[in-house]
């Protein structure tokens, strides 16, 4: 018998549930990755995101090659590719890890149906999360819509251990003879490859992910609680790409953190627990999307589906380019546009600003993040956007609106982050760094930063827009 292992959001060999299950059968294995060309050509996926995922696929191919194996790369629609591969090789089993987004579920159901009809045994595994949607339910067997009680249950449940590394690789003997496309490249899809050392291919593979985890466990995890909100410090794990592309397994992360926790003391314990809480948010949002697939493009709270967003294109463009005149917002958008990642506090600030200050529909911002973020995850992105826009489960109340100046002063008190991404503000005195429009003219001259010329004047007045946002939310609520 032969088993196909279909790699998707799990681009690693270490602690891989489907691969482990396939290995246990003792059958020779065919590892395959399927490239969906339409997605690679679509503007929905930005260059940085595409490059990062191609780099992770290449790294997986390299690791398999070092073991004497090979990652087959095929293009097309998954059920057709897998049917053909099964027919070509006589494979009778297909293994893959479950994904919970509405689109992925539809695709996987179709694949399972078509392959089963061919007589192929389809085996799916839990891998993306520690607790799947449906494992944690209220006493009434309904999904949790509030995070804290969900977290309490999550914490009490036993967790799967990481799977052991196979000691012997039993690969399909004709693997090298099977047709395979080369690892996809940006050039092949007419895309621009981002340039710079941080974009080197090896930054995105399994080895880099394990190294990043180790670095975090050796240092920043102990101060995570106090520093996690400070974008200038850069003290979060930066594991989001690895967890979403699957170059690192959540089991490995969780159990490695538990080991560190076992010898931690005092404040360190609180910090490590704060980090674990973020991993729970990740699973909370997976189950929200699973049980409420309409939240992909509709408000979870129906009363806020009809907010009369202004949707001014000029303001949206200024936001996308980081040209709103509010330094913390602009620096954050520059970070996103340059690096494909944005600090969590800044995701909240920029999302709040777009929806509550610019009165632009959260779906526009969500789509922009989806295009730019290398760590894009549908469930977390929807969850984050709906939380910030006050339209989601467990959302921030609509009358609590982030102030872009005080948020900057609180979380970037020395202006380190703002100056890094907005060099034009480097010489601006600290007291004006988050409100440069207040600088008297002679100070603007000294700082080499003329407001309205070198740096934009604020595109809206926060106090006025705040009032308007509250009125629009109230109207939507009253109409409901």
Catalytic residue numbers, as ranges? 278, 281, 309, 344, 362, 385
Of the candidates 440, 432, 425, 435, the residue with the CA atom closest to the CA atom of residue 461: 435
- Rank residues 76 and 143 by Cβ distance to ligand FAD and give the closer one: 143
- Rank residues 306 and 344 by Cβ distance to ligand FAD and give the closer one: 344
For residue 198, the tally of other CB atoms under 10 A from its CB is: 11
Stretch that binds ligand FAD, among 170-178, 193-201, 254-262, 374-382 (CB under 6 A): 374-382
Q: Does 281 bind ligand FAD (CB under 6 A)?
A: yes
Classify each residue of 23-53 as buried b or exposed e, where b means 16 or more C-beta atoms within 10 Å of its C-beta. Answer: bebebbbbbbbbbeeeebeeeebbbbbbbbb
Determine the size of the site formed for ligand FAD (CB under 6 A).
28
Of the candidates 479, 474, 458, 460, the residue with the CA atom closest to the CA atom of residue 359: 460
CB of 352 closer than 8 Å to CB of 324 = no
Stretch that binds ligand FAD, among 71-79, 87-95, 180-188, 340-348 (CB under 6 A): 340-348
For residue 461 the two structure tokens come to: 């007045």
Question: Interface mask (CB under 6 A) for ligand FAD, residues 213-232, using x and -?
Answer: ---------------x----
Classify each residue of 124-138 as buried b or exposed e, where b means 16 or more C-beta atoms within 10 Å of its C-beta. Answer: bbbbbbbbbbeebee
**Of the candidate residues 373, 422, 433, 476, the single one contacting ligand FAD (CB under 6 A):** 373
SS3 for 123?
strand
CB of 363 to ligand FAD, least distance (A): 12
**Stretch 282-311 residues interacting with ligand FAD (CB under 6 A):** 282, 285
- Rank residues 183 and 230 by Cβ distance to ligand FAD and give the closer one: 230
CB of 237 to ligand FAD, least distance (A): 3
Instruction: Give every strand in the sheet of 3-7, ordered side by side.
Output: 72-75, 29-35, 3-7, 93-97, 121-125
Q: Does 279 bind ligand FAD (CB under 6 A)?
A: yes
d(CA 246, CA 11): 5
For residue 480 the two structure tokens come to: 């409901």
Q: Does 380 bind ligand FAD (CB under 6 A)?
A: yes
- Rank residues 59 and 351 by Cβ distance to ligand FAD and give the closer one: 351
d(CA 105, CA 291): 12
Q: Does 376 bind ligand FAD (CB under 6 A)?
A: yes
Q: Which helix (H) or strand (E) holds 286?
A: helix 267-291
- Rank residues 217 and 351 by Cβ distance to ligand FAD and give the closer one: 351
Residue nearest to ligand FAD (CB): 384
Q: Does 340 bind ligand FAD (CB under 6 A)?
A: no
- Rank residues 112 and 352 by Cβ distance to ligand FAD and give the closer one: 352
**Of the candidate residues 388, 391, 393, 444, the single one contacting ligand FAD (CB under 6 A):** 388
Of the candidates 98, 165, 102, 95, the residue with the CA atom closest to the CA atom of residue 131: 98
Question: Interface mask (CB under 6 A) for ligand FAD, residues 229-268, using x and -?
Answer: -------xxxxx--xx------------------------
Alpha helix segments (H runs only) across 158-249: 206-218, 224-227, 240-245
Q: Does 351 bind ligand FAD (CB under 6 A)?
A: yes
The Cα diameter of the chain in Å comes to 80
Residues interacting with ligand FAD, by CB under 6 A? 228, 236-240, 243-244, 278-279, 281-282, 285, 344, 347-348, 351, 369, 373, 375-377, 380-381, 383-385, 388
């Amino acid at each position: 018998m032969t088993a196909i292992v279909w790699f998707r959001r799990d681009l690693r060999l270490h602690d891989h549930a489907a691969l482990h299950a396939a290995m246990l059968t003792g059958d020779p294995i065919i590892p395959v990755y399927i490239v969906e060309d339409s997605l690679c050509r679509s503007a929905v996926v930005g260059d940085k995101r595409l490059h990062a995922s191609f780099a992770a696929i290449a790294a997986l191919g390299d690791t398999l090659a070092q073991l004497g194996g090979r990652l087959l790369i095929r293009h097309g629609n998954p059920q057709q590719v897998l049917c053909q591969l099964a027919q070509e090789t006589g494979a009778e089993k297909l293994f893959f890890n479950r994904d919970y987004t509405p689109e992925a579920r539809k695709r996987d159901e179709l694949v399972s149906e078509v392959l089963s009809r061919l007589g192929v045994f389809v085996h799916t595994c839990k891998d993306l999360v520690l607790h799947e949607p449906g494992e944690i339910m209220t006493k009434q067997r309904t999904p949790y819509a509030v995070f804290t009680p969900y977290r309490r249950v999550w914490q009490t449940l036993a967790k799967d251990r990481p799977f052991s590394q196979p000691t012997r690789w039993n690969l399909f003997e004709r693997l090298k003879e099977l047709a395979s496309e080369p690892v996809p490249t940006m050039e092949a899809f007419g895309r621009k490859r981002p340039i710079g050392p941080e974009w080197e291919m090896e930054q995105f593979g399994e080895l880099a992910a394990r190294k990043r985890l180790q670095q975090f466990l050796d240092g920043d995890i102990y101060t995570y609680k106090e520093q996690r909100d400070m974008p200038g410090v850069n003290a979060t794990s930066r594991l989001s790409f690895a967890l979403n592309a699957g170059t690192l397994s959540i089991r490995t992360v969780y159990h490695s953190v538990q080991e560190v926790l076992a010898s931690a003391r005092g404040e360190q314990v609180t910090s490590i627990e704060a980090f674990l809480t973020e991993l729970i948010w990740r699973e909370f949002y997976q189950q929200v999307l699973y049980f409420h697939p309409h939240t992909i493009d509709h408000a979870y709270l129906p009363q806020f589906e009809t907010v009369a967003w202004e949707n001014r294109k000029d303001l949206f463009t200024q936001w996308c380019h980081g040209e709103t005149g509010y330094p913390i917002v602009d620096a954050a958008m520059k970070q996103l546009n340059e690096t494909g990642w944005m600090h969590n506090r800044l995701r909240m600030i920029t999302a709040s600003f777009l929806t509550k200050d610019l009165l632009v529909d959260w779906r526009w911002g969500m789509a922009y993040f989806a295009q730019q973020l290398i760590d894009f995850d549908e469930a977390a992105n929807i969850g984050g956007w709906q939380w910030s826009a006050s339209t989601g489960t467990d959302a921030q109340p609509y009358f609590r609106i982030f102030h872009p100046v005080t948020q900057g002063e609180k979380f970037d008190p020395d202006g380190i982050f703002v100056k890094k991404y907005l060099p034009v503000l480097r010489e601006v005195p600290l007291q004006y760094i988050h409100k440069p429009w207040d600088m008297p003219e002679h100070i603007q001259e000294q700082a080499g930063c003329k407001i309205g010329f070198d740096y934009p004047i604020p595109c809206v007045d926060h106090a006025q827009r705040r009032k308007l946002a509250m009125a629009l939310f109230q109207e939507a609520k009253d109409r409901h």
